[in-house]
Amino acid sequence: MKLIDALDQVFLSFSSNKFKTIMSCLGIIIGVIAIVVMLSVGEGIQAGVGQVFSGLDLDIITIFPGGAGFEAGKLVYQKPAEFDDKDIHALENTIGVKTVLPRRGGGVSIKFRDEERSFSLNAISPSKEQDLARIHRYGTISS
């Protein structure tokens, strides 16, 4: 079978099944357009989000374990998990991470004479004090 015979067979098949041919071509065209649109929208969103965050000069990320979650179709608060030394070590060994400052905190009530006040208390390891001071650029924390 020569190339001319093959092309003749293709055109004969196309002309005898016009509806099938048109629908197949339409499906291919729509599929290609959908892929091109999805790729361009994805790149546009990525560039837009990157541009917004790059203008904010963000270089510190705070990670809180636990928080809100979904259960049976509704938003519920989950008991916070706790980071352990293994988690801290994994974060410290992540490429691009300069320092990790594990911090413990919670609410406390202080009563002095007849007054009682509630405060938020945060604590870090003394070995990380210099890192915290460097990050916040306000000097060392008084002991």
What confidence score (pLDDT) does residue 67 get? 59
77: enclosing H helix or E strand: strand 74-78
pTM of the complete model: 0.39
3-state secondary structure of 22: helix
What does the alpha-carbon distance between residue 36 and residue 39 come to, in Å, rounded to a whole number? 5
Share above pLDDT 90 across residues of the chain, in percent, rounded to a whole number:
16
pLDDT in tens, 31-87: 999 999 999 999 999 888 888 777 666 667 777 666 556 666 666 666 667 778 888
What confidence score (pLDDT) does residue 37 get? 96
Contacts of 117 (CB under 8 A, 6+ apart): 109, 110, 111
What confidence score (pLDDT) does residue 30 get? 97
- Whether residue 140 is predicted with pLDDT greater than 60 in this model: the reply is no
pLDDT in tens, 18-33: 888 889 989 999 999 9
pLDDT in tens, 79-123: 667 778 888 888 888 888 877 877 777 788 888 888 998 888 777
Sign of the dihedral defined by the CA atoms of residues 49, 50, 56, 58, in that order = positive
